[in-house]
Amino acid sequence: MTKEEADNGRDDMVIDVPGQANAVPDGFNANYLRIYYGKLFPHADMFKWMSYGNDGKHPGCDKSYFGRREFSFTLENDIYIRFQSFNSVTELENSIKEKCPFKIDIGPVYSVDPAKRHAYAQSGNNVFTPVERELVFDIDISDYDDVRYCCTGADVCLECWPLMTIAIKVIDTSLRDDFGFNHILWVYSGRRGVHCWVCDGKARRLTNEQRAAIADYFHVYKGNENSQKKISLPGLVLHPFLARSYTEVLKGFFEAKLLPNQNLLASEERYEKILEMIPDASVASELRRRWQENKRASMSKDDINIVRWEQLKSILQSGKQKMQGLRRCVEEIVFSYTYPRLDMEVSRHMNHLLKAPFCVHPKTASGRTEQGRTKTRC
Amino acid sequence: MEVVQSQRKSSSNNVIVSILPLYRSAPPLEVRLEDFEFFAIDRLRVLKGLSDGLCRGKKPEEMEKLVLDLWKANMRHPQAVEEVNKDIISHFVLRLVYCRTEELRKWFLSMETTLFRHRFRWGSSEAQRALMSEFKLPYKAVSNAEFESLKDKLGQVARSMGQTLAAADAIFYKVPFEEVPDLVAGRRVFIHKGHAYVAINQVVSLVVTQFRSYLSKALILTNRKWTSTIREQEKDRLTPIVEALCTSYLGPDYSQQQEFGEISIKDIDQVAKTSFPLCMRHLFEKVKEDHHLKHGGRMQLGLFLKGVGLKLDDALAFWKAEFAPKVSAERFDKEYAYNIRHNYGREGKRTDYTPYSCQKIISVTPGIGDHHGCPYRHFSEENLRAALVRMGVSSRAVEDVMDKVHNRHYQLACTLTFEAVHGSSCDAGINHPNQYFIDSQRVLQSKNGSVA
In this predicted structure, what is the pLDDT of residue B425?
83
Same domain, A158 and A254: no
In this predicted structure, what is the pLDDT of residue A366?
37
Q: If we measure between CA atoms, which residue out of A215, A212, A209 comes closest to residue A171?
A: A215
**pLDDT surpassing 70 at residue B22:** yes
Question: What type of residue is B377?
Answer: R
B55 appears as a binding residue in the annotation: no
Q: Which of B150, B153, B156, B190 to mutate to test the interface with A (most CBs of A within 10 A)?
A: B156
Q: Which residues of A touch B153 (CB under 8 A)?
A: 240
| B193 → closest Cβ in A180, A236, A240 | A180
User: How far is Cα A141 from Cα A163, in angstroms, rounded to an integer?
Assistant: 8
Question: In this predicted structure, which of A294-308, B167-181, B206-220 has the lowest mean pLDDT?
Answer: A294-308
Q: Which residues of B touch A204 (CB under 8 A)?
A: none
Which residue of chain B is at minimal alpha-carbon distance from A213? Answer: B185
Question: In this predicted structure, which of A74-83, A218-227, B333-342 has the lowest mean pLDDT?
Answer: A218-227
| A180 → closest Cβ in B156, B187, B194 | B194
User: How far is Cα B176 from Cα A134, in angstroms, rounded to an integer?
Assistant: 18
In this predicted structure, what is the pLDDT of residue A361?
64
Identify which of A31-45, A362-376, B44-58 has the greatest average pLDDT.
A31-45
User: How far is Cα B396 from Cα B437, in angstroms, rounded to an integer?
Assistant: 24
User: How far is Cα B190 from Cα B188, in angstroms, rounded to an integer?
Assistant: 7
pLDDT level of residue A14 (50, 70, 90 thresholds): very low
Same domain, A167 and A260: no
**pLDDT surpassing 70 at residue B345:** yes
Same domain, A165 and A77: yes
- Helix (H) / strand (E) element for B44: namely helix B33-55
CATH number, domain of A94, equals: 3.90.920.10
Q: Quote the strand ranges of B79-132, DSSP E.
A: none
B246 appears as a binding residue in the annotation: no
* Pairing relationship of beta strands A80-84 and B140-141 according to DSSP bridges: unpaired
In this predicted structure, what is the pLDDT of residue B207?
84
pLDDT level of residue A28 (50, 70, 90 thresholds): low
Bigger pLDDT: B244 vs A252? A252
Sequence-separated (6 or more) residues with CB below 8 Å from residue B250: B41, B44, B45, B48
**pLDDT surpassing 80 at residue A116:** yes
In this predicted structure, what is the pLDDT of residue B6?
32
| Torsion sign over Cα A325, A326, A327, A329 | positive
**pLDDT surpassing 60 at residue B17:** no
User: How far is Cα B172 from Cα B169, in angstroms, rounded to an integer?
Assistant: 8
Same domain, A42 and A180: yes
Sequence-separated (6 or more) residues with CB below 8 Å from residue B404: B376, B410, B412, B413, B416
Name the phi and psi angles at A202, rounded to 5: -60, -40
In this predicted structure, what is the pLDDT of residue A24?
46
In this predicted structure, what is the pLDDT of residue B167?
58
Same domain, A149 and A214: yes
Bigger pLDDT: A13 vs B354? B354
Q: Which residues of A touch B181 (CB under 8 A)?
A: 209-210, 212-213
pLDDT in tens, B176-202: 999 888 899 999 999 999 999 998 878
Same domain, A346 and A333: no
- Contact between A46 and A358 (Cβ < 8 Å): yes
Q: Which residues of A touch B160 (CB under 8 A)?
A: 235-239
Which residue of chain B is at minimal alpha-carbon distance from A238? Answer: B160
CB contact under 8 A, B160 and A236: yes
Same domain, A257 and A156: no
pTM: 0.64
Q: How many residues does chain B have?
A: 452
Q: Using CB atoms within 10 Å of the CB of residue A245, give its burial: 0 to 12 exposed, 13 to 18 middle, 19+ buried.
A: buried
**pLDDT surpassing 90 at residue B263:** no
Q: Which residues of A touch B192 (CB under 8 A)?
A: 177-178, 180
Same domain, A188 and A267: no
- Catalytic amino acids of A? 70, 138, 140
Q: Using CB atoms within 10 Å of the CB of residue A330, give its burial: 0 to 12 exposed, 13 to 18 middle, 19+ buried.
A: buried
In this predicted structure, what is the pLDDT of residue B261?
57
pLDDT level of residue A160 (50, 70, 90 thresholds): confident
- Contact between B34 and B237 (Cβ < 8 Å): no
- Contact between B96 and B222 (Cβ < 8 Å): yes
- Helix (H) / strand (E) element for B219: namely helix B200-225
Identify which of A5-9, B54-58, B94-98 has the greatest average pLDDT.
B94-98
In a domain, A12, yes or no: no
Same domain, A259 and A304: yes
pLDDT in tens, B408-417: 889 999 999 9
In this predicted structure, what is the pLDDT of residue B393?
92
Rounded to an integer, the average pLDDT of A178-195 is 91
pLDDT in tens, A163-186: 999 999 999 999 999 999 999 999
| A213 → closest Cβ in B153, B161, B181 | B181
Domain count, chain A: 2
Name the phi and psi angles at A209, rounded to 5: -65, -40
pLDDT in tens, A136-157: 999 998 888 888 888 888 788 8
Q: Quick one: how far is CA B296 from the chain centroid?
A: 26
pLDDT level of residue A368 (50, 70, 90 thresholds): very low
Which residue of chain A is at minimal alpha-carbon distance from B150? Answer: A240
Q: Which residues of B have a CB under 8 Å from any CB of A?
A: 153, 156-157, 159-162, 177-178, 181-182, 184-187, 190-195
Same domain, A178 and A269: no
Backbone Cα Rg of chain B: 27
| B156 → closest Cβ in A177, A217, A240 | A240
In this predicted structure, what is the pLDDT of residue B451?
46
Three-class DSSP category at A64:
coil
B99 appears as a binding residue in the annotation: no
In this predicted structure, what is the pLDDT of residue B202?
84
Rounded to an integer, the average pLDDT of A251-275 is 91
Three-class DSSP category at A72:
strand
Sequence-separated (6 or more) residues with CB below 8 Å from residue B290: none
Q: If we measure between CA atoms, which residue out of A30, A22, A191 comes closest to residue A99?
A: A30
Q: Using CB atoms within 10 Å of the CB of residue A226, give its burial: 0 to 12 exposed, 13 to 18 middle, 19+ buried.
A: exposed
Average pLDDT, rounded, for chain B? 83
User: How far is Cα A260 from Cα A258, in angstroms, rounded to an integer?
Assistant: 6
- Contact between A355 and A195 (Cβ < 8 Å): yes
Find the domain containing A303 and state its range.
240-337
Average pLDDT, rounded, for chain A? 82
CB contact under 8 A, B159 and A213: no
In this predicted structure, what is the pLDDT of residue A213?
93
In a domain, A25, yes or no: no
pLDDT in tens, B124-179: 777 887 787 777 777 788 888 898 899 899 999 998 888 877 655 567 889 899 98
CB contact under 8 A, B181 and A209: yes
Rounded to an integer, the average pLDDT of A310-337 is 82
User: How far is Cα A65 from Cα A132, in angstroms, rounded to an integer?
Assistant: 10
* Pairing relationship of beta strands B30-32 and B2-4 according to DSSP bridges: parallel
* Pairing relationship of beta strands A135-140 and A193-198 according to DSSP bridges: antiparallel
Same domain, A103 and A194: yes
How distant, in Å, are the alpha carbons of A69, B53, B425 from that of B406?
A: 63, 19, 22
| Torsion sign over Cα B119, B120, B124, B130 | positive
> Domain-by-domain residue ranges, chain B?
33-123+209-246, 134-206, 265-450
pLDDT level of residue B235 (50, 70, 90 thresholds): confident
Same domain, A143 and A182: yes
- Helix (H) / strand (E) element for B81: namely helix B80-98
CB contact under 8 A, B159 and A243: no
Q: Which residues of A touch B191 (CB under 8 A)?
A: 178-179, 241
In this predicted structure, what is the pLDDT of residue A42?
93
CB contact under 8 A, B159 and A179: no
**CATH number of this structure's domain B33-123+209-246, picked from the four choices 1.10.30.50, 3.30.70.360, 1.20.930.80, 1.50.10.20:** 1.20.930.80
CB contact under 8 A, A242 and B195: no
| Torsion sign over Cα B366, B369, B372, B376 | positive
